[in-house]
Amino acid sequence: MVVGSINGRYIVDYVLSAKKGQYMNVSMATDNAANYFNILAPGESEMAMFNGSMAQNQYEGTLRASGDYKVRVYLMRSAGRRGEVAKFRLDMIIADGEARTAPAGALQSSVATAVPAAPEDGGPRNWEVTGVSHGLNLRERPSVAAKVIATYASGTVLDNLGCQRAERGVWCDVQELGGGPRGYVAVQFLEPAVSPNGSPAMGPDTSALRAGQGEFDATGQIPCARSLGQPMTQCDFGVARTGGGYATVVVTKPDGAKREIFFRRGVPTGADTSEADGYHELCAEKESNLDLIRVGPERHEIPDAVVLGG
C-alpha cells in the first residue's frame, strides 16, 4: 500500500515484478476525480493494458506474462494544465493463483465498463489525444496489424464515433475535428476534450434540430448586412445550444429570409447554403470575442456570448 500525492502533469510509476499466472489486484482511492492509474505490461513504455479512467480505478486479473509491470499514476491532461493536486492511496496485490475471494464475474464487469459511451449514449462528443511523444496512429481497422492512415500529435481533437473492444483492448472510431480520414485509435491515448467553457461536451448535438423547431436558448440582435458594400444593420437571431460550444444560430435577414450558422466547440463550421445561394462557403475571422462571418456576400458579427452563453 502506498500513500502519496501528485500534481500538474507529473506521472509516478510503481514497478511490480510478477510471474505469468499470478493474480494482480490494484485499486486506488483519491480526493481528485481527475486522478487515475494505468497498468503497463512488461516491455511497454506507453501502451497500457488497463486504463483506470475507463474502469473506475479498479483492476483484477490473472497475468499473461512474467516481468516488471508498471502502475502509472497520473492526472488527466485538463487537470494537469490547471496545476491541480491529488492525494491518493494505492493498494497493490500480487498473489499466486487466482483470488478465491473475488466475486464471480468481477473481471468481466470491469472490462464491460471500460468501453466509453458514444455521444448518443451520453459519452463525450470529442476526444483529445494525450500521452504520446511521437504521435498516435490512426488505423484502418481496430488492430495493431492494420494499416496506418494518419498520425495525430498530442492535443489533436477528434470526433467520438463510438468505441469497441478488440484485440484485448479498446479501440475508438474517430475522425479529426474539421474533417479528415476516419479510422481507429487505442483508447488509452484519449481523454474527453475540454470545451471552451472548461468542461467536456457530452451527449449528442441536437442544436440544429432544436433551432429548426424554434426552441431557442436566447434571442436578440446582431450586426449584419445582406451584400458587400451595404452598411451594417441589426438582424434578429435565435440560438439553440447543447453545451461545449456546440450551437446553431438562426439569423433573420432584412428581407425576412433566414440563415442558419453552425458552431462546434465555439468555432463557426458551416451554414445552411443551398443551390439558390450558389452553395457559398462560410468564411470566418476572429476579432477579440467576435466572429466575423461571411456567407457569400452576407456578413454577420456574432459575439462569443451568443454561442457560449453568458
Residue-range domain boundaries for the chain? 1-114, 115-204, 207-308
Mean pLDDT of the chain: 87
Q: Residue 111 has what pLDDT? A: 37
Mean pLDDT, residues 146-167: 92
More confident residue, 154 or 229: 154
Mean pLDDT, residues 12-19: 94
Out of 100-114, 188-202, 255-269, give the one with best mean pLDDT. 255-269
Helix, strand, coil % in the chain, rounded to nearest 5:
10, 50, 40
Q: What is the CATH number of domain 1-114?
A: 2.60.120.380
- Cell numbers 493494458 correspond to 49
pTM: 0.62
More confident residue, 102 or 92: 92
Mean pLDDT, residues 235-250: 95
115-204 classified as CATH 2.30.30.40: yes
- The DSSP secondary-structure symbol of 128 reads E
Tell me if 2 sits within 8 A of 92, measured CB to CB: yes
Considering the chain, what percentage of its residues have pLDDT values greater than 70? 92
pLDDT at 16 over 90: yes
Q: How confident is the model at residue 113 (pLDDT cuts 50, 70, 90)?
A: very low
Mean pLDDT, residues 197-207: 87
Which residues have CB under 8 Å from 273's CB, separation 6+? 279, 280, 281, 282, 295, 296
Copy the grid coordinates of residue 291.
466572429
